[in-house]
Amino acid sequence: MSERLKKALHSISEYWFWFKSWFITYYTLKVSYNNTWGDADDQEFIVKKFIKKKPNFISFYTEDGDFVEISGAEGLNYRITEI
């Protein structure tokens, strides 16, 4: 593909994501399996839609459309912030 076509497709996709952002709210989800934040077991996700949020279980759809379920026997520590 030519460079001009690649640039045009890139700008169209950026415009599309900007337009969708007016109607869809995204969240940042940070999950820790223990009480210490910032260690090796922490995970971070960009969430499009939450399905269930419970103390030991959380399920959601990522911005890419993947379905994710996370569970912890002793409970989960998670932080949700709106982007």
Mean pLDDT of 53-81: 89
pLDDT for 1 beyond 70 = no
- Domain contains 14: no
Residue numbers of the domain that contains 63: 24-82
Q: Model confidence over 6-45: pLDDT tens digits?
A: 999 999 988 987 888 788 888 999 988 777 777 778 889 9
pLDDT band at 61 (very low <50, low <70, confident <90, very high): very high
- Domain contains 52: yes
- Domain contains 2: no
- Domain contains 11: no
Domains held by the chain: number = 1
pLDDT of residue 36: 75
- Domain contains 10: no
- Domain contains 13: no
Output the average pLDDT for the chain: 88
- Domain contains 12: no
Model-level pTM?
Answer: 0.69
- Domain contains 44: yes
Long-range contact set of residues 74-81: C-beta below 8 Å, sequence gap at least 24: 76/31, 76/32, 76/33, 77/31, 77/32, 77/33, 77/34, 77/35, 77/37, 78/29, 78/30, 78/31, 78/32, 79/29, 79/30, 80/27, 80/28, 80/29, 80/47, 81/27, 81/28
